[in-house]
């Protein structure tokens, strides 16, 4: 049992490290082709952040242990939406921007509902077993493609003064020649305020941070080093994904637990911890809008691409993951959308944060009892 746990933990560590190497290398390559920080943030950084989840799902599908894929995505999204957002609100209540209320959170609810329709075939198709087939996977991929197109199109239509990522000087770090409070920009990106933050702003700001990191690399002038980072990172992702799937399935077998339970708890939480640390750190520094946008964007990618991609390879067996799990996910997305949208101050406060945390622990208690 200890060996399986060790393999699982080492696999998670390799996934996180590999995702960072791939993202840093890809950002450096994109900068050489003068790709804007906005596009880098929406594509390279956004997908890089979700890479550990995607690799685990693809690996588990290829090894015919697809229950781990479904459980990992549902568990990770619930961890982020309930526990992480709840703790953020308890630490520092924040206002949900109009962009989040009118655009990003409705898309989150739609993506969660799409995953429910695709995955709960017992309820919607009258089957005796939950399975996400290839046609459902294609539906999720198409919704994801439309989501990415919509994000880029919406951003291009917005004015530079209300969005992030339109200036892309490669010579100065964040904060140089700019006053983030006044909104005046020099040769860099400004930190978006909570009143204007959304998924686009969060990913674009992360793209700027990654670009700044690449500019200070000692070997930044050598393109081969960027490609080496990508290759090494991909290797770490493949090995880490294999180890996570093997460790999780071995741990489930020796502890008498279902693969679904291990995926919903250990694997999901392990892959989500880096995002939790990043989000809570941003919250402590007052950048709640960026943290919230990052979480919502990651959950949308998980529900659509992370499940849709492996489902195209082979149908995904949902096993015991069914109505309660999908209903909790959709309900969480609706709560985060409707509560701030209907309240007068459009805030996620401490009381609501406590409710979200209690809901998460209630769900986890149910999951453990169910086995």
Residue pair 71/268 in contact by the 8 Å Cβ criterion: yes
Encoded tokens for 62: 């290829």
Residue 158, φ and ψ in degrees, nearest 5: -75, 155
Query: What is residue 203's predicted lDDT score, i.e. its pLDDT?
Result: 65
Q: Which residues of the chain have pLDDT under 70?
A: 1, 31, 35-43, 45, 156-197, 203-227, 252-253, 371
How far does CA 5 lie from the centroid of its chain?
A: 24
DSSP annotation string for 115-146: HHHHH-HHHHT--SS-EE-HHHHHHHHHHHHH
Please report the pLDDT score of residue 206 as a whole number. 66
Q: Are 132 and 307 in contact (CB under 8 A)?
A: yes
Per 3-state DSSP, the chain is made up of helix, strand and coil in percentages (nearest 5) of 75, 5, 20
Mapping DSSP onto H, E and C, the string for 160-180 reads HHHCCCCCCCCCCCCCCCCEC
Instruction: Write down the pLDDT at residue 158.
Output: 57
User: pLDDT for 106-129, tens place per residue?
Assistant: 999 999 999 999 999 999 988 888
pLDDT digits (tens, 9 = 90+) for 139-165: 999 999 999 888 888 776 654 444 444
Q: In this predicted structure, what is the pLDDT of residue 110?
A: 96
Query: Residue 75: what pLDDT?
Result: 92
User: Are the C-beta atoms of 329 and 307 separated by less than 8 Å?
Assistant: no
């Amino acid at each position: 049992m200890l060996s399986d746990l060790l393999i699982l933990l080492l696999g998670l560590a390799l996934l996180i490290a590999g995702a960072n190497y791939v993202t840093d290398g890809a950002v450096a390559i994109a900068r050489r082709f003068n790709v804007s920080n906005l596009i880098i943030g929406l594509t390279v950084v956004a997908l890089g952040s979700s890479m550990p989840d995607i690799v685990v799902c693809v690996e588990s599908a290829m090894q015919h242990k697809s229950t781990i894929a479904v459980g990992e995505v549902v568990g990770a999204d619930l961890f982020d939406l309930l526990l992480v957002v709840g703790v953020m609100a308890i630490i520092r209540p924040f206002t949900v921007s109009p962009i989040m209320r009118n655009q990003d959170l409705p898309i989150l609810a739609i993506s969660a509902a799409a995953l429910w329709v695709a995955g709960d075939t017992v309820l919607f198709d009258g089957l005796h077993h939950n399975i996400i087939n290839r046609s459902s996977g294609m539906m999720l991929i198409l919704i994801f493609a439309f989501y990415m197109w919509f994000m880029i199109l919406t951003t291009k239509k917005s004015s530079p003064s209300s969005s992030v990522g339109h200036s892309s000087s490669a010579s100065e770090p964040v904060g140089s020649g700019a006053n983030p409070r006044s909104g005046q920009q020099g040769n860099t990106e400004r930190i978006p305020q909570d009143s204007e933050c959304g998924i686009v702003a969060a990913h674009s700001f992360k793209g700027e941070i990654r670009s700044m990191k690449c500019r200070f690399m000692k070997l930044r002038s050598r393109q081969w080093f960027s490609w080496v980072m990508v290759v090494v990172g991909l290797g770490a992702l493949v090995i880490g994904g294999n180890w996570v799937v093997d460790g999780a399935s071995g741990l489930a077998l020796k502890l008498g637990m279902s693969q679904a339970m291990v995926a919903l708890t250990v694997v999901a939480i392990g892959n989500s911890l880096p995002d939790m640390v990043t989000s809570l750190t941003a919250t402590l520094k007052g950048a709640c809008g960026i943290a919230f946008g990052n979480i919502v964007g990651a959950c949308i990618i998980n529900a659509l691409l992370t499940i849709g991609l492996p489902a195209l390879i082979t149908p995904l067996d949902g096993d015991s993951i069914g109505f309660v799990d999908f209903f909790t996910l959709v309900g969480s997305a609706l709560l985060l959308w409707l509560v701030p949208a209907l309240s007068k101050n459009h805030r996620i406060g401490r009381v609501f944060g406590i409710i979200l945390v209690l809901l998460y622990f209630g769900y986890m208690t149910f999951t453990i009892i169910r086995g």
